[in-house]
Chains A and B, each alone.
Chain A
Amino acid sequence: DIQMTQSPSTLSASIGDRVTITCRASQSIRTWLAWYQQKPGKAPKLLIYKASSLESGVPSRFSGSGSGTEFTLTISSLQPDDFATYYCQQYNSFWTFGQGTEVEIK
């Protein structure tokens, strides 16, 4: 099974900050990686697929990069609506999520 590890688990940031979340796979997943945003009590929302493709309707301040085993999600300028938990997910071999990164207000 492919394991996904995100870091950090919690991130404290201010409005306007540049935020980066890292996701590492236990083996190569090429670019078969998605990022999701989840707010409390809500369903996950797709942000990025194929490591760097922005889902339609998602603000351009979100971007993804990486391939193989190391990936990043970057928010270029944190907005009030961005405080949430973010999950990476591999879909190279079945489907596995990272444990999540909570972005909280500093």
Chain B
Amino acid sequence: EVQLVESGGGLVQPGGSLRLSCAASGFTFSSYNMKWVRQAPGKGLEWISYISSSSTTMYYGDSVRGRFTISRDNAKNSLYLQMNSLRAEDTAVYYCARATGVPGGGFQYYYYMDVWGKGTTVTVSS
């Protein structure tokens, strides 16, 4: 069964740090690009970070760029999100998601999210 399981969430004070993990199973993790998406309480979905299969390319959303770092360990089938300088507005459920690509002509692929974990909750509060 294809599965993603997030962990590492919790309560942290403003300005603090937290590292989220996402364990993948049931598919060849090293062949897939991956993403983190978050959802603040009662709000919609927000993409925050992307990493390519071999870690050569990373992207970040404007709200987290410079504070969050995405990484992966293909030998451990794991994805990570290091979150620093946390703010109250970072309070959310954080999901990891697998990115599956569709060819768009030439060598370009377009990636949507086809498998999601159940999420881990991060609360930033004093």
Which residues in A have some Cβ–Cβ distance to B below 8 Å? 30, 32, 34, 36, 38, 42-46, 49-50, 55, 87, 89, 91-92, 94-100
Contact = CB atoms under 8 A, between A and B. Distances in A.
Contact of B117 (A32, A43, A87): A43
Nearest to B46: A97
Contacts of A100: 44-45
B110 A95 contact: no
Main secondary structure of the interface of B (DSSP, over half): strand
Interface string B46-59: 11001000000001
B90 to A, nearest CB: 17
B102 interface: yes
B102 A49 contact: yes
Main secondary structure of the interface of A (DSSP, over half): loop
B104 interface: yes
Given A32-B110, A95-B35, A44 B44 contact: no
Contacts of A96: 47
Interface of B: 35, 37, 44-47, 50, 59, 61, 95, 100, 102, 104, 110-119
Contacts of A94: 47, 50, 59, 61
A46 B113 contact: yes
B112 A49 contact: yes
A32 B12 CA distance: 37
Nearest to B60: A94
A91 B112 contact: yes
Given A32-B104, A43-B95, A49-B112, A95 B118 contact: no
B44 A95 contact: no
Contacts of B37: 44
